[in-house]
Structure 1
Amino acid sequence: MGEPLTVGIVGAGKISAAYAETLARLPGVRLTRVADLDLGRAAALAADLPGVLPVPPDELLACADVDAVLNLTVPRAHATVALAALAAGKHVYGEKPLATGTTEAAEVLAAAAAAGRTVACAPDTVLGTGLQTARASLAAGDIGVPVAATAFMVTPGHERWHPSPQFYYEPGGGPLYDMGPYYLTALVHLLGPVRRVTGMASTPRPTRTTLDGVTFPVEVATHVTGVLEHASGALTTLMMSFDAWTGRLPRIEVYGTEGTLNVPDPNGFAGDVHRFAGATREWTKLPDLAGYRDAARGYGVADLARALRTGTQPRASADLAYHVLDVMESLLSAAATGTTTTVTSTCEVPAPVPLAADPDRA
Structure 2
Amino acid sequence: MGHPHRLGIVGLGNISAAYLDTLADSAQIRITAVADLDTARARTLADRLPHARALSVSELVASDEVDTVLNLTIPAAHAEIALAAIGHGKNVYGEKPLAARMADAREIVAAALAAGVGLGSAPDTVLGTGLQTARHAIDDGLIGRPLAASAVMVTAGHERWHPSPDFYYQSGGGPLLDMGPYYVAALVHLLGPVRSVTGAASRLRGTRTITQGPRAGAVIPVDVDTHITGVLEHDSGALSTITTSFDGAATDAAPLEVHGENGTLSVPDPNRFDGETRFFELGATQWRPLPTAAGYLDSARGIGLLDFIAAGPDRAARANGDIALHSLDVMTSLLQSAAEGRRLELTTTTERPLAVPLTAREVWSQRE
Check 1:311–1:64 CA distance in 2 against 1; reply closer, same or farther (3 A cut).
Answer: farther
Q: Offset at 1:320?
A: 0.4
Residue 355 of structure 1 is matched in structure 2 by 358
CA RMSD of the aligned region, Å?
1.4
Give TM-score, length-normalised by structure 2.
0.95
How does 1:153-232 map onto structure 2 within 5 Å?
153-211=153-211, 212-232=216-236
Aligned to 2:309, which of 305, 321, 332?
Answer: 305
Given the superposition, is the C-alpha separation of residues 108 and 311 from structure 1 closer, same or farther in structure 2, using an over 3 Å criterion? farther
| CA deviation after TM superposition for structure 1 residue 281, in Å | 2.7
Aligned to 1:290: 294
Q: Which runs of 5+ in 2 are unaligned?
A: none
1:316 aligns with 2:319: yes
Output one character per residue of 1:55-105: Cα deviation in whole Å (capped at 9) or x when no partner.
111111122111000000000000110000001110000000001121101
- Offset of residue 274 of structure 1: 0.5
SS for the counterpart of 2:253 is coil
**Number of the residue aligned with 1:106:** 106
Q: Aligned partners of 2:258 and 2:26: how far apart in 1?
A: 33
The structural deviation recorded for 1:2 is: 5.8
* More divergent stretch after superposition (24-33 vs 122-131): 24-33
- In structure 1, C-alpha distance between the alignment counterparts of 2:135 and 2:228, rounded to whole Å: 26
Identity %: 56
Report the alpha carbon displacement of residue 311 of structure 1 after superposing the two structures with TM. Answer: 5.5
Measured after TM superposition, the shift of residue 360 of structure 1 is 7.1
Q: 2:135 corresponds to which residue? A: 135
The residue aligned with 1:147 is 147
Give secondary structure in 1 for the equivalent of 2:17.
helix
Q: Output one character per residue of 1:172-198: Cα deviation in whole Å (capped at 9) or x when no partner.
A: 110000000000000000011111111
Q: Hey, what's the Cα distance between the residues in 2 that align with 1:20 and 1:54?
A: 15
Q: Quick check: 2:30–2:51 contact (8 Å CA) kept in 1?
A: no
How many Å apart are 1:52 and its aligned residue? 2.0
| TM-score (normalizing by structure 1) | 0.96
Which residue identity is paired with 1:296?
A
1:328 to 313, 331, 349: 331
Partners of 1:210 and 1:44 in 2: CA distance: 27
Post-superposition offset of 1:209: 1.4
> Number of aligned pairs?
360
Identify unmatched segments of 5+ residues in structure 1.
none
1:272 match: 276
Q: Say whether 1:48 aligns with 2:48.
A: yes
Residues 218-247 of structure 1: CA deviation (Å, up to 9, x unaligned): 011100011111111111111000000223
> In the alignment, which residue of structure 1 is the partner of 2:255?
251
SS state at 2:49 partner:
coil
2:159 counterpart SS class: helix
In the alignment, structure 1 residue 97 sits paired with structure 2 residue 100: no
Write the distance in 1 (CA, Å) between the matches of 2:284 and 2:152: 27
